[in-house]
Amino acid sequence: MASLIQKVLSPTELPRISGFEFSTKFVSGSKQGGDYFDIFEHDDRMRFGILLSSSSGYSMSALFLSILMKISSRIESRNGLSPSESLLKIHNEMKAHLGEQDRASLFYGLVDKRTYEIHFASIGNLTIFKQSVGHESLEVFENQGPPLGKNFSTELQTQVLALDSKDRLIMCSEGVTQAKSPQGEVWGASRLIEAIRSAPKSGVHELRNEILFRLEKFVGNTEPVRDLTVLVMEVKDRVIKLAKQ
């Protein structure tokens, strides 16, 4: 039942944001879960947010979502919190309710369509890459600290990354890299990287499908134990279309 509720809460329709294309997939785990993602526009229509979380369990995820709803107006406001301030605010609201084993990996990015920069903060064990068109190498988004927990004390700083036409962001929750084969072997980041490099260059859906196809082939017919989420974003063009006066 908790798995079903978590699946219902994950968005099935994403906003249409000019100049960007998205492809997402959420698969609920059979025993452990707590993934959540969202892509949302701000009051300032020239900005939009990307959120990905991976919690240690459904109770932790429920707490995270309740806190997120409580402070969402402050996060989304025109002069709201920066990504690093938002994650710290979430922790401050949650810490009194956390158990010793509760953990959450979090990414929050804010894309400015005026400058084509993403301002972001990331903690925990999420795997996030930037892939530039025509390049085999992948730029890794380094997590700034351990997963959010009761004793989390990392000083976060918002980082900034420039985006160019055809650049992609590939974001995966812990369930992707930690998936296991029937023999107990972990899929890991190296196989994820191989899947990204081998994927067709034609679109975000093809890239997402290649990741999931290779992952499903690796784990066989076994149902995923943990929630897994794949989110891909591509910059389509950098032309800002202004409305007629």
Give counts: helices (H), strands (E), the chain.
6, 10
Q: pLDDT tens digit string along 7-35? A: 545 555 677 888 999 999 988 887 766 88
**pTM score of the predicted model:** 0.85
Q: What is the mean pLDDT of residues 94-119?
A: 89
Cα atoms found within 13 Å of the Cα of residue 81, Cβ hemisphere only: 18
Averaged confidence pLDDT in the chain: 83
Q: Cα dist. 143→28, 61, 198 in Å?
A: 24, 20, 25
Q: pLDDT tens digit string along 29-87? A: 877 668 888 898 877 888 898 989 888 776 666 667 666 765 665 555 555 788 999 88
**35-41 β-sheet, strand order:** 35-41, 47-55, 104-112, 117-123, 159-162
Residue with tokens 């025109």: 78
Amino acid at the residue 35: D
Which of 14-23, 189-198, 214-223 is most confident?
189-198
What is the structure's pLDDT at 119?
95
Q: pLDDT tens digit string along 114-143? A: 999 999 999 999 999 999 876 667 898 889
- The structural domains of the chain, ordered by start, are 2-235 (3.60.40.10)
Structure tokens at 234: 């591509």
